[in-house]
């Protein structure tokens, strides 16, 4: 159930197995670095076949470069996120988009009063859905 965070504070205990988007992307970027190194290591094992080793090295480099790009993207997203104090665990967290989960306790939160009390759904962040709501108004 979504929890509106601007005005009301209360004791909703429902917790979803949904981690905050920022944390998710960060984990993804970190795993990319490891995949990159793994691929490069595979290339080392194949050093007898020079062209194959080169391809693996390039692929590994690409993974690492891509993860750097993702890290930059996280930085950009973080500045756009709204900082709030989670009503559930009372720690500071960030909300990205209209609905997101608390980084610490996974409490689903919303910045849109119209969505208060609704079931958490990623679709509320989609542009298409946003337009539908605006049309109904």
Cβ neighbour number for residue 101 with a 10 Å cutoff? 26
Which residue in 107, 108, 109, 124 binds Zn ion (CB under 5 A)? 107
Q: Which is nearer to Zn ion, 12 or 59 (CB)?
A: 12
Q: Which is nearer to Zn ion, 39 or 95 (CB)?
A: 95
Torsion angle, CA of 9/10/11/16, rounded to 10 degrees?
-50
Share in percent of the chain as helix, strand, coil (round to 5): 55, 10, 35
Is residue 2 a contact residue for Zn ion (CB under 5 A)? no
Q: Where in 40-99 is the site for Zn ion (CB under 5 A)?
A: 86, 88-89
Is residue 110 a contact residue for Zn ion (CB under 5 A)? no
Can you tell me the distance from the alpha carbon of 36 to that of 61, in angstroms, rounded to the nearest whole number?
Answer: 6
Give contact residues for Zn ion (rule: CB under 5 A).
86, 88-89, 102, 104-105, 107
């Amino acid at each position: 159930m979504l929890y509106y965070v601007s005005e009301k504070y209360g004791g909703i205990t429902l917790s979803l197995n949904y981690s905050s988007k920022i944390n998710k992307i960060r984990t993804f970027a970190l795993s990319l670095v490891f995949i990159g190194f793994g691929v490069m290591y595979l290339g080392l094992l194949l050093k007898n076949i020079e062209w194959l080793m080169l391809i693996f090295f390039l692929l590994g480099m690409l993974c690492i470069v891509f993860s750097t790009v993702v890290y930059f993207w996280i930085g950009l997203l973080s500045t756009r996120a709204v900082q709030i104090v989670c009503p559930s665990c009372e720690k500071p967290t960030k909300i990205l988009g209209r609905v997101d989960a608390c980084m610490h306790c996974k409490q689903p939160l919303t910045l849109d009063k119209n969505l208060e009390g609704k079931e958490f759904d990623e679709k509320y962040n989609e542009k298409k859905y946003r337009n539908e709501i605006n049309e109904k108004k």
